[in-house]
Every structure is written in structure tokens, then in C-alpha cells.
Amino acid sequence: MHELAIAESIIDAVLERTGDRSVTVVRLQVGRLSGVVPDALTFCFELATAGTAIEGAELEIAEPTGRAHCRDCDVDFVVDDLILLCDCGSADVEVVAGRELSVTSVEVA
């Protein structure tokens, strides 16, 4: 499962910085175009933190909306799925937000 690998790399990155301190909250940014399902990620996170200093920590996930910029008509528009087409019909668009996948903050006890 894709989300399990992501959860494990998040946990490794957090543990690397927090060491043995007990972690109470982990905040993430998971963009709507990142391809990651927040519910599945939360499930995997809970599984994979068992026995670590992060066990029992709350996972807070922010989901930034996808945004793209059309090079043909020079407007920004909201993208809710992976179909990157401007209203003008152009596919010459650049994703400017929504692919985030990062830890934004961590709280330790």
C-alpha cells in the first residue's frame, strides 16, 4: 500500500528530529492532487507508529486545494481532480498548488 510507505517515511523523518522525546501531534500538508488518501494515511500512520515515540500522537492533515495556471489564457483555476484542463479547453496548464506532501509541524511532550 502506497500510504504505508509514505507513513513510514514521515515517521522516520519525525523520529530523526525528535529522538526519544514523546511526540503528541504531527501536522501534515497533503495536497488534493498528491494522490494520497488522508484516511488511508491516518490508518497506516497509526499502525506504523506502534512501539515508537510517536505512538498515540494525533495526526492533523491539512488538504490544500489544487490550483493550476493556464498558459494560454493566463488565469489561475481550481483543480479538484487529476484532469488538468482549463475552461478554455487548453491543456497547457501548470499545477501551482495541491501536490504538497510534507510535515508542517510537530509537537513534543
Q: Which residues bind Zn ion (CB under 5 A)?
A: 70, 72-73, 86, 88, 90
Ramachandran sector of residue 61 (left: φ over 0; alpha: ψ -120 to 50; beta: rest): beta
Least distance (Å) between residue 79 CB and Zn ion: 12
* C-beta of 43 vs 77, nearer to Zn ion: 77
Greatest C-alpha distance within the chain:
54
Least distance (Å) between residue 34 CB and Zn ion: 23
Least distance (Å) between residue 32 CB and Zn ion: 20
Least distance (Å) between residue 70 CB and Zn ion: 3
Helices (H), 19-87: 38-49
* C-beta of 17 vs 71, nearer to Zn ion: 71
Q: Is 21 helix (H, G, I), strand (E, B) or coil?
A: coil
* C-beta of 90 vs 104, nearer to Zn ion: 90
Question: Hey, which bits of 32-75 come out as E strands?
Answer: 58-62, 66-70
